[in-house]
Amino acid sequence: MSFVESEERIALRKAVSELGAKYGTEYFVAKARSGEKTTELWEEAGKLGYLGVAVPEEYGGGGGGIGDLAAVCEELAAAGCPLLLMVVSPAICATVIARFGTSEQKSKWLPGFADGTLKMAFAITEPDAGSNAHQLKTHVRRVGDDWILKGTKTFISGIDEVDAVLVVAIQKTGPVLVVVPTNAEGFTWHQIEMDLLAPEKQFTLFFDDVRLPDDAVVGSPDQGLLQVFAGLNPERIMGASMATGSARLAISKAVTYAQQRQVWDNPIGSHQGLAHPLAKIHIEIELARLMTQKAAALYDAGRDKDAGEAANMAKYAAGEAIAAAVDQAIQTHGGNGLTSEFGLASMLGMSRLSRIAPVSREMVLNFVAQNSLKLPRSY
pLDDT, tens digit, 9 for 90 and up, residues 9-55: 999 999 999 999 999 999 999 999 999 999 999 999 999 999 999 99
What phi, psi does 181 have (nearest 5°)?
-60, 145
Give the domains, in start order, of the chain with CATH numbers: 7-119 (1.10.540.10), 121-219 (2.40.110.10), 224-372 (1.20.140.10)
Residues of the chain with pLDDT under 50: none
- What is the DSSP secondary structure assignment for residue 157, as one 8-state letter? E
Instruction: Calculate the average pLDDT of the chain.
Output: 96
SS3 143: strand
Which pLDDT does position 142 carry in this prediction? 94
SS3 breakdown of the chain: % helix, strand, coil, rounded to 5? 60, 15, 25
pLDDT tens column, 158-187: 999 999 999 999 998 899 999 999 999 999
Say what the pLDDT of residue 3 is: 77
CA distances from 136 to 130, 157, 208 (A): 9, 18, 16
What's the pTM?
Answer: 0.96
Instruction: State the Cα–Cα distance between residues 238 and 73, nearest whole angstrom.
Output: 7
Which residue from 332, 346, 186, 364 is spatially nearest to 257, judged by alpha carbons?
A: 332
